[in-house]
Amino acid sequence: MFDPNAALEPNGNYFGFPFSLEESKLILISVPWDVTASYKSGTAKGPQAIMDASLQLDFYDEVIPNAWELGIGTLPLNDSAAIRRSSIELRDLSSDLSLVNAACSHLNEWVFETSDYWLGKNKKVGIVGGEHSVPLGYLQALAKRYDNFGILHFDAHADLRDGYEGLEFSHASIMYNALKILQVERLVQVGIRDVSPREMDIAKAQGNRVVQFSDRMLQNSLFNGSTWHEQCEKIISTLPEKIYISFDIDALDPSLCPHTGTPVPSGISFAQVRYFLEMLQLSKKEIIGFDLCEVAPAEGDEWDGNVGARVLYMLSNACLLQNV
């Protein structure tokens, strides 16, 4: 009875799609967690804002015309309501680092167990944050199933800080913690433009395990006549066959995500992301999972959720393309 051409009513699923968890090929798990924010908070509201905005998308995809039929399911947002309540409570107790670190560790366990369960059902999983600390448990679950894989990391920041502000699982430490996972063969960072000296030392110490395509590198190449197509080819050439995409919305030009926690001038355009994902699909590399984090809506302004919903749809379709 689902009509992709009609106005949609909320049904608890991203995009209003009709698929049950059992019949879905991709399960979207909301993690409305916002505890370690170091500048502006609000990402705990991201999943709901994305879900609300996703109902007004049109679903025709020029590359995958029947994209809406691929089977995108949603773990009920109510399942993570307690996480958001804990997040709000912990924001008021952020000075108690031991309490916050323990809560973050507990969250990692929840994400690990939840994603591991659905991976065990032969589903792919996408994490919808929340701050960027939230996918660590999912990466650990993937490491149970894959001997090696790469992380393709879109972000304005390198997220390679060691225990930032005393928080072991800070949003600014997600890639530092991810590199502790031995199965992570390579980390490829795209669009970074706000990085500390210590983070660069950590990246260099990893040798060719960390490859960076900074915003400066990308923009200067464009200014010197290199096409975005050529740059996409270079980025994709550094990726292993199996890749996980970690997408912080602040990788984009901040006009597309003005209320994210730590916006930085410059950035990637929406069209550049779309083109890159299309090239990645043509490369035949397998996307084994993804996360979308740091969408933070403002009261009375649905723009951040609108852009977030469209990025989520692109990531979901790219992840499922091999099933077409």
Q: Which residue has the tokens 């929340």?
A: 130
The pLDDT score that the predictor gives to residue 165 is: 77
Q: Which two tokens stand for residue 66?
A: 């029947």
SS (H, E, C) the chain: CCCCCCCCCCCCCHHHCCCCCCCCCEEEEEECCCCCCCCCCCHHHHHHHHHHHHCCCCCCCCCCCCHHHCCEEECCHHHHHHHHHHHHHHHCCCCCHHHHHHHHHHHHHHHHHHHHHHHHCCCEEEEEECCCCCCHHHHHHHHCCCCCEEEEEECCCCCCCCCHHHCCCCHHHHHHHHCCCCCEEEEEEECCCCCCHHHHHHHHHCHHHEEEECHHHHHHHHHCCCCHHHHHHHHHHCCCCEEEEEEEHHHECHHHCCCCCCCCCCCECHHHHHHHHHHHHHCCCEEEEEEEECCCCECCECHHHHHHHHHHHHHHHHHHHHHC
> What is Dmax (Cα atoms) for the chain?
56
* Structural domains present in the chain: 14-323 (3.40.800.10)
The pLDDT score that the predictor gives to residue 85 is: 56
Report the interhelical angle of 228-237 vs 270-282 (nearest 10°): 50
The pLDDT score that the predictor gives to residue 95 is: 58
pLDDT tens, the chain, 324 aa long: 789 999 999 999 999 999 999 999 999 999 998 888 777 778 989 999 999 999 999 999 998 899 999 999 999 975 555 565 566 566 555 557 788 888 889 899 999 999 999 999 999 999 999 999 999 999 999 999 999 999 999 999 999 999 887 889 999 999 999 999 999 999 999 999 999 999 999 999 999 999 999 999 999 999 999 999 999 999 999 999 999 999 999 999 999 999 999 999 999 999 999 999 999 999 989 999 999 999 999 988 999 999 999 999 999 999 998 654
Pick the closest to residue 48 from 100, 87, 101 (CA basis): 87
Please, are residues 169 and 136 in contact by the beta-carbon 8 Å criterion?
yes
The pLDDT score that the predictor gives to residue 284 is: 87
The pLDDT score that the predictor gives to residue 324 is: 45
Report the alpha-carbon distance of residue 14 to residue 29 in Å, rounded: 10
pTM: predicted TM-score of the whole model, two decimal places = 0.95
Gyration radius of the chain's alpha carbons: 18
Report the alpha-carbon distance of residue 97 to residue 230 in Å, rounded: 45
